[in-house]
Amino acid sequence: MKIFMLSILLLSIATLINGGITSKYVRQAQPANEMSLETFPSPAGHNAPEQVHLTQGDHNGRGMIISWVTPLNLDGSNVVTYWIASNGSDIKRRKKKASTSSYKFYDYSSGFLHHATIKNLEYDTKYMYEVGTDKSVRQFSFTTPPKVGPDVPYTFGIIGDLGQTYASNETLYHYMSNPKGQTILFPGDLAYQDNHPNHDQRKWDTWGRFMEPCAAYQPIIYAAGNHEIDFVPNIGERHAFRPYIHRYHNAFKTSGSISPLWYSVRRGPAHIIVLSSYSGYGKYTPQYVWLEQELKNVNREETPWLIVMVHSPWYNSVNYHYMEGESMRVMFESWFVNSKVDLVLAGHVHAYERSERVSNIKYNITNGLSTPVKDPNAPIYITIGDGGNIEGIANSFTDPQPSYSAYRESSFGHALLEIKNKTHAQYTWHRNQDNEPVAADSLMMHNRYFFPKEEIASDCLVC
């Protein structure tokens, strides 16, 4: 009876078209108004560290990159102290010196950007760490992932195109209110500084402060989006991605990449590949050559869940940015199908959409076969550019809903991927609704390598 009532409730806000669902939910009118610069002041204290954030610092999860910013480059301000939490009186404090840089952009000068890579951490262990000097020391913590393995449970949060509006704030704190999330997968578009005159770099600073309550305690794995490009030749800024690369380091070299814009990490049961939608990916380019080898390096016996992040979606039925990811899809989709990728995450479109498992790889220039078809070896494609950014919601869908689209909705929100074991992962998308994160779409996903059975549509009504 419970399942029946839940089914009726979900179907009452959705329309079935060609087997897919277009939600009829209309989000509460709340403009995507950006929070002011004054909303996020620097922390108190002389030369206090700020904008503290984490990302994985090696390929297998035993490293962490700790990053922070200080106004001045004083002695000791580039050092992080860390230790294992709850070790009683036997606390062994270790120190690591960071690399430090700064940059100028038009009329802006950054603070001093510190990045410390700490290695050889113990798996599945809570660490405390401190940055800052004298009375301006600030303390945080993080927990390392379990050792890479096929049946290791692990939960990823998924957030994209966040920005720093009041809606963004709702999305972030909805995610933080759920204790399950351990690491965020973020498929691009962070601060939206480029929506302001001369790409106002102060917005990078306020975004770093906005994110710190989350980003200082759990790592975020980023893909670069179009709002990270910061290419403005008319004001003399001719080097794409420069502020982003200065601020958000990653361990790209540990996966054999030559660029921080494409790389991979292994975390618990997942092998995560990050690609750049805005770097060359044609045949013989560095990204193409790297990805071809990287897919061969994946060991599904150790990391059964293969996840890819891009920014521009390959399957999108919203009228915004429609088919912008098409050339990359044509280049790499057959590789993803042959490799049995489980999940592809994208942002860019400011709505939410989940695809069926489909592929469109039979086309050549003469045969006319250019229609997506169901394919059990294909990934599910998630578009999650619905974080709440200043540009607002995308609310115009193609009509009728195409057969490859399983669920779509014009709302802000975030998702969770709870990997249970090597065969099953619970996926849920949480809409920002009436100040509450409501699970509006869910599916028990089946691993393509170990359990390549079709996910039943009714699963999303009962899981």
413 vs 192: CA distance, rounded Å: 18
Q: Is 193 helix (H, G, I), strand (E, B) or coil?
A: helix
266 vs 191: CA distance, rounded Å: 26
Distances (CA, A) of 82 to 132, 142, 249, 335, 431: 12, 10, 19, 41, 37
Which residues lie below 8 Å from residue 459, measured CB to CB, with a gap of 6+? 443, 444
Burial of 136 (C-beta count, 10 Å sphere; 0-12/13-18/19+): middle
336 vs 357: CA distance, rounded Å: 12
Q: Which of 77, 221, 70, 85 is nearest to 158 (CA)?
A: 221
Structure tokens, 248: 């958000």
321 among known catalytic residues: yes
Q: Which of 178, 277, 290, 174 is nearest to 227 (CA)?
A: 277
381 vs 367: CA distance, rounded Å: 26
Contact 326, 314 (CB under 8 A): yes
Strand partners, 264: 273
Sheet holding 183-186, edge to edge: 220-222, 183-186, 154-158, 413-419, 424-433, 436-446
Determine which one of 115, 321, 414, 446 is catalytic.
321
406 vs 380: CA distance, rounded Å: 10
Contact 449, 300 (CB under 8 A): yes
Structure tokens, 453: 């059975």
Q: Which residues are annotated as catalytic?
A: 321
